[in-house]
Amino acid sequence: MNKIHKKIWTLTTVILLIMAAIWITLTYYNQKTQNQYNEILQRYLRMNEVTRTSQQMIADLNNYFITPIPENLDKLNKSRGKIENAKREVSYLRNSENDFALTNYMNLIDSLVETTDRSLLYFNEKETEDSAKEFSEATRISMYISEMTLTLIDSELNTYERLYRGIIDQSEEIKKLGIWLMLMITCLLMFLTYGFSLSITKPVQKLTQAANELSRGRFHLPIKVDSNDEIAFLAQTFDRMRININNLISEIQHKAQLEHELQESKLLLKESQLLNLQSQINPHFLFNTLNTLSKKAYLEGSHETSDLLVSVAGLLRYNLKRLDRPVTLREEVMVLQQYMDIQKARFTDRLHLKMSIDETCLNVDIPGLTLQPIIENAVNYAVEPREDGGIIWFRIQDGNDCVIIEVEDDGPGIEEFKIKQILQGQFIQKDGNSTGIGFTNVVRRLRLFYGNEDVMNIESSAAGTKVVITIPKDRRGAA
């Protein structure tokens, strides 16, 4: 959860470490150089110290000779101590190249001290002349010491020249190194910072893009962020939200579609009823009249006419009643038979109907007035136009989990594009030579009723047309 936090800390620590390392190195180097400088200076100062103290001692000796009081003697002794000290210090400066000269130098200091002592001794013993002689010698030695100091410093310079030049060169190198180092660190830090900022902004950018897509209503694009910080977590939650929304939307769409289908089926039903009503001026009057005609015909001995009229009346009643609710196949078949009775009366020998019905299949549900229009169609196209009539086969078979209804004729067949139009629900019948309920209507109702597009199939050739309706035994999904 603290990934970005950690990243910032890491970056800062790295920068800090680099800086600290550089600082330590430079400080260490500086210290080293400083020490070297100090050492060099120390060498010169020590040598100079010898010259100074030797001169001081001569001056003190002289002072004592002029005014021989204990304070001056003290001073002399003090500077004597100093020169001994200086000598000890100088002895540390020994190296292989100034070995000889340094030994001489130190011996010279010894000689100076001894000569001074002797001079003092003679002075105390009142041997003024000897004392003066020794004093002049001491003065000379002091001078020699000064000279030798210069010589030593000179040789020191020669010996250490390379060292000095090295130091100068090195400081130059360090300056250059500083520039290069700064360039490199700048480069490195820029890279680090770039990578770091990218690792934060890139997921954010992706997220923004995804949000944009969502706001445009594109819910199907998955949101993927390959980072290991909070942004990735955010992206995951966001993605989950997207999926949820997507699911909800598809659910709503599905529901809307169902609603739409329902509406459509209702509309179709209304249309059937409307067509029916239009064609029935006064169905009850017609129905009563037909019954009266039937009785009359029966009384007059025309049994055949009477039966026909009964059939017409039954058909009429069925039409009035059954249009808006599902019926069993059995009822549908019964109506079909009545209808065929009427048609037989009309076509007599020209119409041959051959039925083969599997009685076990007659209990399935089917929308009302679906078979009659199909048969009517077959009669209209396969029998009516032909002088010598035609044959119509009607079969109901058991197809395991479904019932197969076949209506076959030996008519001239239907053109291919018409079949397509019918199956797509676009075909519109023009002639009024029917009960009014069109083929198209039947197809659509069947489909809506069973929720299945493949309910009807039409095979047609020059030798006849076969309409196959496949009805599932168990109606799935309540429409």
Residues in touch with another protein (CB under 8 A): 25, 29, 91, 94-101, 103-105, 107-108, 110-112, 140-141, 144, 148, 159-160, 162-163, 166, 170, 173-174, 176-177, 180-181, 183-184, 187-188, 191
As measured in angstroms, the least distance from the Cβ of 57 to another protein is 15
Closer residue to another protein, CB minimum distance, 95 or 328:
95
CB 347 within 8 A of CB 308: no
Q: Which of 103/426 has CB closer to another protein?
A: 103
Q: Report in angstroms how near the CB of residue 16 gets to another protein at its nearest.
A: 19
Residue 25 vs 208, nearer CB to another protein: 25
Cα separation, 396 vs 354, whole angstroms: 12
Considering the complex, what minimum distance in angstroms separates the CB of residue 223 from another protein? 23
Alpha-carbon span 183 to 187, nearest angstrom: 6
Looking at the Cβ atoms of 110 and 365, the one nearer to another protein is 110
Give the nearest distance from C-beta 80 to another protein in angstroms: 17
**For residue 235, with 0-12 CB atoms within 10 Å meaning exposed, 13-18 middle and 19 or more buried, which class applies?**
buried
* Minimum gap (Å) between residue 426 Cβ and another protein: 56
Question: Of the two residues 203 and 373, which places its CB atom closer to another protein in the complex?
Answer: 203
The residue among 188 and 463 lying less far from another protein, judged by its C-beta, is 188
To another protein, the closest distance from the beta carbon of 99 in angstroms equals 5
C-beta closer to another protein: residue 108 or 392 = 108
Least distance (Å) between residue 244 CB and another protein: 35
Whether the CB-CB separation of 352 and 391 falls below 8 Å is answered with yes
Least distance from another protein to the Cβ atom of residue 163, Å: 5
- Our CB check for another protein shows the closer of 105 and 439 to be 105
d(CA 240, CA 244): 6
- Closest C-alpha to 406, from 472, 451, 459: 459
Query: What is the amino acid identity at position 209?
Result: Q
Q: Which is nearer to another protein, 73 or 167 (CB)?
A: 167
Query: Whose Cβ is closer to another protein: residue 103's or residue 253's?
Result: 103
Total length of the chain: 479
Whichever of 137 and 261 has its CB closer to another protein, that residue is: 137
Query: What b/e string do you get for 109-135 counting C-beta neighbours within 10 Å, with b at 16 or more?
Result: beebbebbebbbebbeeeeeeebeebb
Task: Provide, rounded to whole angstroms, the least separation between the CB of residue 42 and another protein.
Answer: 14
**164-199 CB burial, b ≥16 within 10 A, e <16:** eeeeeeeeeeeeeeeeeeeeeeeeeeeeeeeebeeb
Minimum distance of another protein from residue 177's CB (angstroms): 4
Nearest distance from C-beta of residue 35 to another protein, angstroms = 12
Q: How far is the CB of 123 from another protein (least distance, A)?
A: 19
- Residue 103 or 273: the one with the smaller Cβ distance to another protein is 103
**Residue 366 burial by Cβ neighbours in a 10 Å radius (0-12, 13-18, 19+):** buried
